[in-house]
Amino acid sequence: MEAVRESWTDERMDDLSDRVTELSRRMDARFESQEARFDTMQRTMIQLFAVAVAAFVGLLSAQTALLLALLG
């Protein structure tokens, strides 16, 4: 076990630290990319919901107008 610990030189530790830092940067970039995709998807879903509500209100208005025309 001592031999393994002695083989970890400062240079190797610095190299490992650099690799971990680079991996962290890449992961952060990927997460930002995914967040942007989710934001776009959420915006699209909200827009589709608004269109569906508007279509439903239009349908109800048309049915109400038709019902009033038939009754009147």
* pLDDT mean over 6-26: 90
Alpha-carbon radius of gyration of the chain: 30
How far is the C-alpha of 9 from the C-alpha of 17, rounded, in Å? 12
Q: How many helices (H) and strands (E) does the chain have?
A: 2, 0
Per residue in 3-24, is it b (16+ CB within 10 Å) or e — as a string? eeeeeeeeeeeeeeeeeeeeee
pLDDT at residue 16 greater than cutoff 70:
yes
Question: Which pTM does this prediction carry?
Answer: 0.62
Residue 53's pLDDT is 98
Range of the domain at 29: 2-71
- Residue 70 corresponds to which amino acid? L
Indicate the number of domains in the chain: 1
